[in-house]
Each structure stands twice: as C-alpha cells, then as structure tokens.
Chains A and B, each alone.
Chain A
C-alpha cells in the first residue's frame, strides 16, 4: 500500500473520531457516535497491517506476537466491559484510561530504545513528555480506581508535609526529564518513569470523594495528549489528530464537569499542594434521629400533593430503579405531583442517575435538573432521598471546612418533610456528617433501598 493511500485512510479514521465526539454530545446521536468512533478505530488498526514502515517489508515482523497480544487484549477487555455493573462503570473507565496511558508510555519507551542515539532533540522531548504524562495517567488512574472501588479510603489522603513531598517529586521528575534530554540514556528514562509513576499516585491521593470524576476526566485528557506526542515520534498523523482531539475535548469536558459540580478546576488540580489535613468531624455522633417504618412513609406520601424523589448512589447499588419507578407511577395514579430531582453529580459520575432511571423507562419530563427543582422544594410536601447524601448535605453551604464546601446542592431542607432511605448512618462518599439527618422534619427508613421501596409500595397499595 502506498504511503499516500495509507495516510488518506488514516485521515478518514480521524474524521470518524471527530464525528464520534460530535455524536456523543447529543443524546439522540450518542450511540451512533460511539459506533462511528469504533469503526474509525477498527479501520486505523486494520490498515496498519497493510502498510510497510520505512525500511521494513510486509507482512509485519513479529506478526504472531502482535495478533496474539490483540487477541489477549480483546479477551480481557470485552468481558470486563460487558459484565461490569452499572454502579462500577466509572472505575472501569478509570482503569481503561490508565492502561491507555500505560500503553502510550510503553510505546514511547520502546521507540526510544529503538532510535537510540539517532533520535533528534524534538523527538526526545516528545518521548520524555509521553513517558511522564503516560505514567502519571497510569498510576493516577489506578488510584482513582482503588478509591471508587472502595479498596482504599475515599477520603482525601493527606499526610503532614505532603505538599512538600509532592512538589519535591515533581521537581525531581522535571529535573530528570532535563537530564534525559541533555544526556540521553536508558537508565535516566527508567528513573523518569518511576518518578512519574510516584507523582501520579501522590497527585491523586489528596483528591477526595466528589472530585474523583473530575480527576478521571483530566487524566483522560492527559492520555490523549500523550497519544498525540507518540504520533509525532512515530510520524503518524492519525495518532496526532486522535490524541489532540481527545486532549482538547477532554480538557473542555473536565471544565464542564467541574462547573456542574461547582468546583474550581484550579482548586481540584492543585488540591494536592494546598490540601490541609482534615479535622475529624465527630461533633454529631450520639444525637437522636427519627426513624420510621415503611407504613409511616406510605402514609406521609399518600397525603402529599407534591413529592420530589432525590436518587443517589444507594439507588444504583440496590438496583432499585424499577422499584422507584413503580412507586412514582403509583403516586401519580393517586393524583400526586411527582418529580425526580437530579443532582448533576449524584452517583459516582455526572449523569449516572439519568442513565440508571432511563433504564427503568422513567419519562424524561419527570427528571428535573437541580436549577429547575430547587425553587420548588418550598412547595414540596415530601422529599424522598434514596441513597443520596453528599448532594443534599447542607454542609456544602454552611461549613467552609468541609471537602464539599461550595458544591451546589439540592435544597431538600426546604421541603415540609424529608425521608431518607439509607442503609446505615454511615456518611456519604465525601465522608462528612449530614446535619439534615438530625433535622426534626426528617424521617429515616433504614435498609437496602430496593427492599425498603418495595415495602413502601405495598404499604401504599393497602392504604
């Protein structure tokens, strides 16, 4: 295949990626967009087997190894993606992003070993960039995975002098980077990779709870840029286009996510350098709470005129989306006005709740965004909070020291009655106490969200 034809097909794949991102920006075309992206990636992968690199011939060397490795990747990746539960998708995306960053770093290292002394300075700089950012993306994503999977604490991990350690690691990384560019050599590059891996871990450790999705998005953009840099070293226009697209759109997406959550991107990014050790917020452990039975909840709902349902991660964990819809339908059939109050970051990822409720065929017009629903809480008789906590926690408005301070919340406190469906008194993902639980107009219904809702539905039917 001529190099011209190869480049032309690569360009077609690049256009597929642009159309994919465009499609993914609108609900109607999102699924088609994703498929176009997959087609582009497939074209790009297939065509590389038919193009001889400079000084090489077809078929590709090590063809058996290459095909075997692809097969192994498919065998690992597809089942993981198919079997994962809705609740665990965010961490799977984090993991996929991490291995992508790792792959980019490995490609850069191999190319560096291969080029040896013949690499020019620009290529070395691009290599160094890819190794640093790819390794940061890899180790950082692994930490976000561990946090979301709750294999480690979800709270910010801050240790005394931490910011100096982080700044020191960053300085050392940059120092070694200069050394690699100036002196060349394999060992400095490996030291660089090790330092970058360490920096990725240190960078993500102080990020707490609600900021984790923003960091995943940011690392995703980082990985895109490493792919672009690899494209430069490997002289592949396609990789430059694809990587830059992801880097640019990922940056915008990260900013949009941060805005939706009321977080400053800067604050999230440099949280590592400014985070202070958290004070234990043990002020309110022993106070009484009011818990009720499913019948109490049913009665409260039966005589309400307007009910707002606030779903959270607990709903996803319990897979209670169908039951909650049953409850809503029942209430509507009784002439009660029902809306779902959707916080942009309820669950573990922006849009998590919409996806979950859409699965239960909840009509779109019942889903109200935060800005729409907040002014209506004053006219709401009952707000049912199902497995949500941080997104309704008034600490975001009232206590400047809280990790979620500044995040807009659903103001359920303005409703006449609040019902919390919770598994336990355990605080939410951000690990902060919720004052609302102790509010006299709050009733708690403990238990698995699905089991509790089922009981409420049957109690309501018997009324």
Chain B
C-alpha cells in the first residue's frame, strides 16, 4: 500500500475515534472501555494470517498461541460487555442518564 494511503487512513481513523466518544456519561465508561477492548481482539485476523504463512514449527506454535489469546480477547470481550449492558434494559418512562 502507498505510504500516503496508510497515513491518511491512520489520521482519519484517529479523528473518528476522538469524535465518536467525545461525550460519554461516566456510567458508560466501563462498558465502552470493555467494548473497545473487544474490538481490538480483531488482531485475531492478523494471527490467522501469520498462522497461514508460518513455515516453521516455532512460527506456527507462536501463531497458534496468538490465535488462542486473540479469540479469548474478542469473544470474551463482547460477551462480557453484553452482560454489563444487560443491566441497561430500557425502563418504562425513566430518563436514561
């Protein structure tokens, strides 16, 4: 990929990341952190790619370890976030704060 394309993607993603979470009530700080935590579990994709082109047992072993860890991060992260948010089921009439 062209360096300028990579830099553009990076800089734009930084701004999007800043903007989407600019105003969040403290109630949601923990679930938001947990959700973001689950999203970076997508490193699983990277782990699968390196496992695919591993040519030695050492590389494959490390890649398999990376896949296990990344899966725990991603799947566990989304499940635990959902459990936190279960508590925010909409209430009748109550003002969400």
Within 8 Å by CB of A21, from B15, B36, B73, B78, lies B36
Query: B77: which A residues are within 8 A, CB to CB?
Result: 77, 81, 93, 96, 100
Which applies to chain B's interface (DSSP): helix, strand, loop or mixed? helix
Partner of B30, one of A40, A62, A90, A248: A90
Whether the Cβ atoms of B48 and A363 lie closer than 8 Å is no
Taken together as a complex, chains A and B put the C-alpha atoms of A395 and B75 apart, in Å, by 41
> For the complex, what is the distance from the CA of A104 to the CA of B73, rounded to whole Å?
11
Across the interface, do B46 and A20 meet the contact criterion of CB distance under 8 Å?
A: no
Please tell me the number of chain B residues within 8 Å of chain A, measured between CB atoms: 84
Name the distance in Å between B30's Cβ and chain A's nearest Cβ.
4
Interface residues of B in 49-97 (CB under 8 A from A): 49-56, 58-60, 62-88, 90-91, 94-97
A247 interface contact, C-beta 8 A? yes
Give Cα A448 to B54, complex, Å. Answer: 55
User: 10 A-B pairs, CB-CB below 8 angstroms?
Assistant: A48-B49, A61-B51, A80-B72, A90-B30, A93-B77, A96-B73, A96-B77, A103-B47, A257-B26, A355-B88
Q: Are A110 and B43 in contact (CB under 8 A)?
A: no
Q: Quick one: which of B18, B86, B91 contacts A363, CB cutoff 8 A?
A: B91
Query: CA A53 – CA B54 in complex, angstroms?
Result: 12
Q: Known: A114-B55, A239-B43, A364-B97. Is A78-B48 also a contact (CB below 8 A)?
A: no
Q: Quick one: which of A21, A27, A93, A227 contacts B21, CB cutoff 8 A?
A: A21
Q: A28-B96, A81-B80, A364-B91 are in contact. Are A242 and B39 (CB under 8 A)?
A: yes
A387 CB–B CB distance under 8 Å: no
Which 9 residue pairs of A and B lie closest in terms of their CB atoms, listed nearest first? A73-B71, A248-B17, A77-B76, A100-B73, A244-B13, A81-B79, A350-B29, A106-B66, A69-B67
> B43 contacts which chain A residues (CB < 8 A)?
100, 103-104, 107, 226-227, 230, 239, 243
A332 CB–B CB distance under 8 Å:
no
Q: Say whether A367 contacts B49, CB under 8 Å.
A: no
Contact of A93 among B33, B75, B90 (CB under 8 A): B33
B39 touches A89 (CB 8 A): no
In whole Å, how far is B49's beta carbon from the nearest beta carbon of chain A? 5
A224 and B45: CB pair below 8 A? no
A65 within 8 A of B: yes
> How far does the alpha carbon of A250 sit from the alpha carbon of B72 in the complex, in Å?
20
Whether B16 lies near A77 (C-beta < 8 A) is no
Is the CB–CB distance between B33 and A252 below 8 Å? no
Interface residue from B17, B20, B54, B76 paired with A62 (Cβ < 8 Å): B54
Q: How far, in whole Å, are A352 and B30 apart by their CA atoms in the complex?
A: 8
Contact B62 A110 (CB under 8 A): yes
**Cα-based distance from A250 to B27 in the complex (angstroms):** 16
What is the CA–CA distance of A84 and B33 in the complex, to the nearest angstrom?
17
Which parts of B5-26 form the interface with A (CB within 8 Å)? Answer: 6, 9-10, 13-18, 20-26
Q: Which listed segment binds B: A162-170, A215-223, A287-295?
A: A215-223
CB-based contact A44/B14 at 8 Å:
no
Q: Which residues of A contact B63 (CB under 8 A)?
A: 62, 106-107, 110
From known contacts A113-B56, A237-B9, infer whether A28 and B90 are also in contact, taking CB-CB under 8 Å: yes
A335: min CB distance to chain B, Å: 22
Contacts of A13 in B (CB 8 A): 42
User: Which one of B46, B55, B62 lies within 8 Å of A236 (CB-CB)?
Assistant: B46
A232: interface (CB < 8 Å): yes
Q: Is A107 within 8 A of B46, CB to CB?
A: yes
- Asked if residues A24 and B83 are in contact (CB atoms below 8 Å), the reply is no
Q: Kindly identify which residue among B33, B94, B97 contacts A220, using a CB–CB cutoff of 8 Å.
A: B33
Residues of B within 8 Å of A30, CB to CB, are 28, 31-32, 85, 88
A76 touching B72, Cβ below 8 Å? yes
Stretch binding the partner chain, chosen from A31-39, A266-274, A453-461: A31-39
Q: Which residues on B sit within 8 Å (CB–CB) of A237?
A: 1, 9
**Which A residue sits closest to B86, measured CB to CB?**
A31
Instruction: Tell me if B75 and A84 are in contact (CB < 8 A).
Output: no
Chain A 228-265 interface 0/1 with B at a Cβ cutoff of 8 Å (1 = within): 10111011111111111111111111001100100000
Is A25 located at the chain interface by the 8 A CB criterion?
A: yes
Residues of A within 8 Å of B36, CB to CB, are 21, 24, 220, 224, 245-246, 249-250, 253
CB of A186, distance to nearest CB on chain B (Å): 10
Report how far A243 CA is from B41 CA in the complex, Å: 9
Please tell me if A379 contacts chain B, counting CB pairs below 8 Å: no
B37 touches A74 (CB 8 A): no
The closest CB in chain B to the CB of A27 belongs to B96
B20 to A84, Cβ gap below 8 A? no
The reply to whether B76 and A81 form a contact with Cβ atoms under 8 Å apart is: yes
A247 touches B71 (CB 8 A): no
Besides the contacts A76-B72, A253-B36, what 20 more A-B pairs have beta carbons closer than 8 Å?
A17-B39, A20-B39, A34-B35, A61-B51, A61-B54, A89-B83, A90-B30, A93-B37, A96-B38, A100-B70, A100-B77, A107-B70, A111-B50, A236-B46, A248-B14, A250-B17, A253-B21, A351-B27, A355-B84, A369-B26
